[in-house]
Chains A and B, each alone.
Chain A
């Protein structure tokens, strides 16, 4: 597949890489139909965020169609053919924070939690395509993306509404909503 890769400070390129595969039972593979470049991708582009590595696949705002699900996903939660918007935070749905619906604080989804803890005291959840400090997950500026804990995050959306009206649900709209609620 083709994917936008970070190749160094102010160097991005579209590379041909291996298609993603299911690595854990609760993974799903999403065929990306729309994706955005976020304002915070510019921080990565400018080299301002540590723990980026050459070859990392970018992008944390994407939506698409489920093309494969892992063995641990119940069909009533998610199945092949579902149209989904994928939030940029990865949440397990079972930990202390997820039970309180504090998805961005998920205890389990960031395998590199210790880097974030060293830098900031606590670790956020894993994020798509946003440095190895938040897990080093391959992002969604690609033709396909692997979505971990796919029975928790992805939001099923109906057919008939164009992508352009939905893709904001990944990051842009919730960020504004969260800001308004806290104001």
Chain B
């Protein structure tokens, strides 16, 4: 099922991906050929050609990996797979550690309604359905047709050896259907690797300590403008919903 959804996702963005990969393979093959030709010349110009061609091939090869339509990460958490599974399975818990989510409400045993922070403070909404699950091991879900975005996910809970807790591995796939949905998907995809790592670290803190460590709202001396701007621009610390940007700047003293 998950494999199927991954294939479908790849199909959705097929046209663009194919032309991009054609360019890349061109660069890799062309660059390698240039490098080989340069080496066989055994002259200064030949070495220069070889270096240039080699660089081109390596760059194209490494860039290739960043085109993945999905992000994944895993983290070792000091709890049992049962605890982690039970916490995650109640999807309404997800916004507690996923900063970009506003709310998730469970509709029935398999379906849930998700709301995430979108561009310009506008919400992005989608309905999700669990496609497969094995108790204490694995949950996979997909967004249903008619949603703002196409975003599928899966999470795995594996007992780590030597009593080291549970390895939680999560993967989110961003589809690119068309038009608005595609743009919103790209909005969510931006910085998703880092955001996901942060989310799992917050989950770890929540599971292990019962709270998420923070300095948000602590007292401090007068900040300067630079700090204020940095605080407002910091994607890792989103300004709470409903707060006025002007107030955030004007009340520089309250910026943590």
Contacts and interface: CB of A to CB of B under 8 A. Distances in A.
Contacts of B205: 92, 108
A26 B209 CA distance: 9
Contacts of B223: 53-55
A53 B227 contact: yes
B216 interface: yes
A6 B220 CA distance: 10
A84 to B, nearest CB: 19
Contact of B215 (A19, A21, A138): A138
A128 B81 CA distance: 34
Nearest to A136: B215
B169 to A, nearest CB: 18
B215 A24 contact: no
Contacts of A148: 213
B164 interface: yes
A135 B197 CA distance: 17
B217 interface: yes
Interface in A87-115: 90, 92-96, 99, 107-111, 113-114
A176 B44 CA distance: 60
A47 interface: no
B214 A111 contact: yes
B219 interface: yes
Interface of A: 1, 3, 5-7, 13, 15, 17-21, 23-26, 53-57, 72, 90, 92-96, 99, 107-111, 113-114, 126, 135-138, 146, 148-149
Interface of B: 76, 78, 164-165, 194, 197-198, 201, 204-205, 208-224, 226-227, 236, 253, 256
Given A7-B221, A138-B219, A149-B209, 5 more contacts: A25-B211, A92-B213, A108-B208, A108-B213, A137-B215
